[in-house]
Amino acid sequence: HVQLVESGGGSVQVGGSLRLSCEVSGYIGSRYSMAWFCQAPGKEREGVVTICTDDTENIFYTYYFDSVKGRFTISRESGKNTVHLQMNSLKPEDTAMYYCAATSRLLTGSLPLQAGQYKYWGQGTQVTVS
């Protein structure tokens, strides 16, 4: 049984930083994709970043949504089943609920930032930038 638990959200001023974490329990697969999505009130859930990796901690590739390139960085913590999202230079439009997601496939092409491609989801953590 796979569970994803997010943490690290909060309120921050414009230009500030936050680090979100997603702790995974259970076995996703030997190769898998993990992603962060965000959803603002009244808007659809949209992909922020995806990391495609395996259970020996190899990172095959990452995908970033254009609006976060150069500001957000996804990483996985060595020795732990945890993925982090470092968010810098935050803007008011980054305000949203952020969700961690995972699936037991390596997603390529246009798939990595599509919510429907992911099987496992966390409960979300709120990020507010003002």
Q: What is the pLDDT of residues 9-65, one digit of tens each?
A: 999 999 999 999 999 999 999 999 999 999 999 999 999 999 999 988 898 999 999
User: Of 84, 94, 81, nearest to 128 (Cα)?
Assistant: 94
Burial of 85 (0-12, 13-18, 19+ CB in 10 A): buried
pLDDT at 130 over 90: yes
Q: How far is residue 81's CA from residue 24's CA, in Å, rounded to a whole number?
A: 5
Q: What is the pLDDT averaged over residues 97-111? A: 94
pLDDT at 101 over 90: yes
DSSP code of residue 112: T
Polymer length in residues for the chain: 130
Which residue has 């709120």 as its token pair?
A: 126
Q: What is the pLDDT averaged over residues 67-89? A: 94
Share of the chain above pLDDT 70, in %: 100
User: Of 82, 52, 53, 86, nearest to 70 (Cα)?
Assistant: 86
